[in-house]
Structure 1
Amino acid sequence: MTLKIGVAGLGTYFGGMWASVFNQYAKSDLVAVCDLRPGRAEEVAGWYDGVKPLTSYDDLLASDADAIGVFTPGPLHAEHVIAALEAGKHVLSAVPTAWSLDECQSIIDAVERTGRKYMLAETPCYDPWVTKVRQMHAAGEMGEVFYVERTTFQDLSGPLMGNDYFSQADTPDVIYGKTKYTWRYGIPPFYYMEHSAGPILMALDDRMTEVTAYGSEEDDSEFVAKYGARYREPHGNPFMCETGLFRLAGGGVVNITIGFVAAFGKEFEPPTRLVGTKASYLIGADNDKLLTKSDTQVLDKPAQHRTLDASIADCADMENSAYVIQDFVQCILDDTPPPIDIYTAVSFTAAGLCGHQSAMEGRTVKIPNFSK
């Protein structure tokens, strides 16, 4: 049996990448792709046999697809996900899960009401270190993990943010009207929390309960000249960088920093640190380290414990997308819970939404428990 798939939101690369893996996977059949730009939909559909190019999301929902991949602009994810669920489709959604706590609850309600499956395409949760640390923690080898630190800086000043990269004709921006700016322009850094909190919470099988956060405002004249004061307008966000201390339900503390404009290349990610009473684990760019009170072991990067179907084995290096797609399709065919279901997904997202609220209001904010 194969699953019929429709993909919404093709972007310049991202959605098209997911469509290509769905098309290649032996257990899924890509039947339609949808994008507001007719040329882009026709281009991607033309790569494959029998794939319909669509420019209307309603037409995609009316198609014979069993499941929809939602890779549209972030602020529209909840709307598009709920519409797909209500149309009887299973959903794989890109991050962010939602744009507000109310939207988080609305998606949960739709999943429970329709009985369809929802999975978040949170690729860093498939990094091999997550499984290794999860196994060590579950076995008690790390003792009590009482402190975690994860910092992510991404330079979004180019294509991801927009700037002068896109022309008005090529990018009809459904959030701000027809502009050359993408939906990421001006978003609070903590609205992109899934990549930071997700792997930690999956590794520790925990959730965050409260946060105290701060933001770094950007008032540099060179920045304003390059990006414009308009950067703050779409979301009323004054922060280029946000830092928060998050309390875990298990008692530990997580220190997360996310920044979007920095003085280096595309991405800089200092080591992620998980500190325990028996052992600590450091995830570095080239190798990992396991530290105890008496020893430090430099480890090779852990191998991916999952095995890909032969039809997509050559997609192993595509940002973990093949592993996500394989799990998504298989959980539907087997009628099993998705590895990153809606309750897990909103636990990542709610932490970021509450973190930004804390930074804006200058107070500690409780994080709702959306657990089933």
Structure 2
Amino acid sequence: MQRRDFLRNGSAAALGGAALAAPARAAARPRLRVGVIGTGLRGQPQLQLLLHRDDVDVVALCDIEPLMLKQALARVEKAGKPRPQVFGENGDVQAWRQLLELKDLDAVLIVTPWEWHAPMAIAAMEARVAVGCEVVAGITLQDHWDVLRTQQRTGTPYMLLENVCYRRDVMAVLQMVRAGLFGELVHLQGGYQHDLRAVKFNSGDPARPYGGGAEFGAKGWSEARWRTEHSVRRNGELYPSHGIGPCAMVANIHRGNRFTHINSFASKARGLHEYVEAQGGKQHPNAKVRFALGDLVTTTLACENGETIILQHDTSLPRPYSLGFRVQGTKGLWMDVNQSVHVEGISPPHRWEPFAKYGAQFDHPLWKKYAASAEGAGHGGMDFFVIHAFVEALKADAPMPIDIYDAVAWSAITPLSEQSIAEGFRTLAFPDFTEGQWKTRQPIFAFDDRY
């Protein structure tokens, strides 16, 4: 879509219809009262960003790990902010429900193990507390429908906190797509290609590395306590949003386009087993574990407008980190692995050009405006932008840039990929969560210049 067309279409009025989410609460607000559920190794950086803001009061924290709560409270104290109410200190896994009962709570960040996301988000929306959820909306396909129906019924704002959509090069490429440099889009790629072997076997205890038995995270604060179990019992595209988010953004998914079909293939599982044996020996208890997750899971999606998208989940083998992005159209392409661009008629024939000059030319207005504020924030500044977007949209009572339909469709790739693999790599029809409204919804989530 040309930038001029995007701006013109973006001014269209919000759409009605029974299938669309109900409007958010009408009153804009200058300050927000926010709670954080989950103060672990991901929750604390998000908490820190909230503490840096003058328009947010962090009024509640919830976690069942005393060490994590202690560290989170130390961050609050160091920031010179009032001590929030604390829930879960006694290990009560349902303490988050008490947090949601707080008076005048505007929003909550859900930064917990994945299986808690759907029930926590549903309960928060029932309580009319806006949700910022860390990138997995649910486990089963039914979870995703339940989250969607709750949001539609209550009208409570919900945003998937997918930070890679705000990566600087990704947003510059979005600008290039808007300007028509790549012509008509044909094919997109992305994924989660990240060697997580050390993460999955970090017990949190220097005396017991690589975990013990089925309890991988012995000390409790390690991701291995919950994340590794997904590799033991599930085989699919387990973490799709980092890859699919930017692809969906440039393809205008749910804004004139949609996913129509999906299939997934999984390789054999060898990497995690070999890692345990190499690090802990063949007699280590975890050497007996058999992992369901294929070392490389490849998922293909077809789109209504004819584009194809490939996602790859690759976390069990040695490799440098990469999300493997590729944006390709009739006039050229960008690939992030080699940070290169080729544009027909501009680049030398059959030659790559460095992305840097294009990145500078098409730098997104948000990065131009907030680069200094984002400096030092997690993941190269991306974390600043996603939290900023959530807060500013909620304050203005504006639509969420990454909304409920994006959240459930991106996240539902996981159970659909599991089903495809389990059924012999079968191609499945992709659910239309918008129930036909994708044809006319305004393209707000391609990020206007406000947030």
Same fold, TM exceeding 0.5?
yes
1:113-146 CA distance string (max 9 Å, x none): 2211000010001113333333333443322221
- Determine if the alignment matches structure 1 residue 16 to structure 2 residue 44: yes
**1:55-66 superposed matches below 5 A:** 55=88, 56-64=95-103, 65-66=105-106
The AA in structure 1 aligned to 2:242 is: H
**In 2 relative to 1, CA 348–26 (structure 1 residues): closer, same or farther, beyond 3 Å?**
same
**Given that residues 36 and 109 in structure 2 are in contact (C-alpha distance below 8 angstroms), is that contact kept between their aligned partners in structure 1?**
yes
- The Cα of 1:59 is off from its aligned counterpart by 2.2
The AA in structure 2 aligned to 1:190 is: E
Per the normalisation by structure 2, the TM-score is 0.72
* Distance in 2 separating the partners of 1:259 and 1:150: 11
**Given that residues 25 and 311 in structure 1 are in contact (C-alpha distance below 8 angstroms), is that contact kept between their aligned partners in structure 2?**
no
| 350-359 vs 25-34, which moves further | 350-359
Unpaired runs of 5+ residues, structure 2, are 1-29, 89-94, 204-208, 281-285, 438-451
**In 2 relative to 1, CA 6–294 (structure 1 residues): closer, same or farther, beyond 3 Å?**
closer
What corresponds to 1:253 in structure 2? 308
Please point out which of 333, 353, 357 is paired with 2:415. 353
**In 2 relative to 1, CA 7–259 (structure 1 residues): closer, same or farther, beyond 3 Å?**
same
What corresponds to 2:366 in structure 1? 306
* Distance in 1 separating the partners of 2:417 and 2:428: 7
**In 2 relative to 1, CA 57–270 (structure 1 residues): closer, same or farther, beyond 3 Å?**
closer
Tell me the secondary structure at the aligned position of residue 47 of structure 1.
Answer: helix
**Given that residues 172 and 364 in structure 2 are in contact (C-alpha distance below 8 angstroms), is that contact kept between their aligned partners in structure 1?**
no
* Distance in 1 separating the partners of 2:141 and 2:160: 16
The AA in structure 2 aligned to 1:170 is: K
- The Cα of 1:239 is off from its aligned counterpart by 1.6
- Determine if the alignment matches structure 1 residue 195 to structure 2 residue 242: yes
**In 2 relative to 1, CA 290–25 (structure 1 residues): closer, same or farther, beyond 3 Å?**
farther
**Given that residues 128 and 305 in structure 1 are in contact (C-alpha distance below 8 angstroms), is that contact kept between their aligned partners in structure 2?**
no
Q: How many residues align?
A: 359
* Distance in 2 separating the partners of 1:145 and 1:212: 21
**Identity among equivalent pairs (%):** 25
What corresponds to 1:181 in structure 2? 225
**In 2 relative to 1, CA 78–151 (structure 1 residues): closer, same or farther, beyond 3 Å?**
closer
* Distance in 2 separating the partners of 1:318 and 1:151: 16
- The Cα of 1:189 is off from its aligned counterpart by 4.9
- The Cα of 1:172 is off from its aligned counterpart by 8.2
| 155-164 vs 303-312, which moves further | 303-312
What corresponds to 2:431 in structure 1? 368
| 116-125 vs 50-59, which moves further | 50-59
**1:20-59 superposed matches below 5 A:** 20-48=48-76, 49-50=81-82, 51-55=84-88, 56-59=95-98
1:171-193 CA distance string (max 9 Å, x none): 189xxxxx963234315451211
Tell me the secondary structure at the aligned position of residue 262 of structure 1.
Answer: coil
What corresponds to 2:220 in structure 1? 171
What corresponds to 1:276 in structure 2? 329
- The Cα of 1:313 is off from its aligned counterpart by 4.5
**Given that residues 282 and 290 in structure 1 are in contact (C-alpha distance below 8 angstroms), is that contact kept between their aligned partners in structure 2?**
no
**Given that residues 159 and 165 in structure 1 are in contact (C-alpha distance below 8 angstroms), is that contact kept between their aligned partners in structure 2?**
no
What corresponds to 1:217 in structure 2? 268
1:76-109 CA distance string (max 9 Å, x none): 1101111111122101000212112111111111
Q: Highest CA radius of gyration, 1 or 2?
A: 2
* Distance in 1 separating the partners of 2:190 and 2:218: 39
The AA in structure 2 aligned to 1:252 is: E
* Distance in 2 separating the partners of 1:82 and 1:5: 17
1:277-319 CA distance string (max 9 Å, x none): 122222246x342332662432314545315679955444545
* Distance in 2 separating the partners of 1:97 and 1:329: 19
Unpaired runs of 5+ residues, structure 1, are 174-178
- The Cα of 1:247 is off from its aligned counterpart by 0.8
* Distance in 1 separating the partners of 2:333 and 2:58: 43
- The Cα of 1:47 is off from its aligned counterpart by 2.4
**In 2 relative to 1, CA 113–26 (structure 1 residues): closer, same or farther, beyond 3 Å?**
same
- Determine if the alignment matches structure 1 residue 292 to structure 2 residue 325: no
* Distance in 2 separating the partners of 1:344 and 1:124: 14
**In 2 relative to 1, CA 334–252 (structure 1 residues): closer, same or farther, beyond 3 Å?**
same
Normalized per residue, the structure richer in strand is 1
- The Cα of 1:36 is off from its aligned counterpart by 0.6
The AA in structure 2 aligned to 1:269 is: S
- Determine if the alignment matches structure 1 residue 5 to structure 2 residue 5: no
1:256-296 CA distance string (max 9 Å, x none): 211111123xx4227422221122222246x3423326624
* Distance in 1 separating the partners of 2:336 and 2:372: 31
**Given that residues 191 and 242 in structure 2 are in contact (C-alpha distance below 8 angstroms), is that contact kept between their aligned partners in structure 1?**
no
- The Cα of 1:3 is off from its aligned counterpart by 0.3
**Given that residues 6 and 60 in structure 1 are in contact (C-alpha distance below 8 angstroms), is that contact kept between their aligned partners in structure 2?**
yes
1:10-63 CA distance string (max 9 Å, x none): 11x210110111111122111111101133213312322322222121221122
* Distance in 1 separating the partners of 2:175 and 2:239: 27
RMSD (CA atoms):
2.7
The AA in structure 1 aligned to 2:287 is: G
- The Cα of 1:353 is off from its aligned counterpart by 2.6
1:234-273 CA distance string (max 9 Å, x none): xxx3422201221122101112211111123xx4227422
* Distance in 2 separating the partners of 1:183 and 1:356: 17
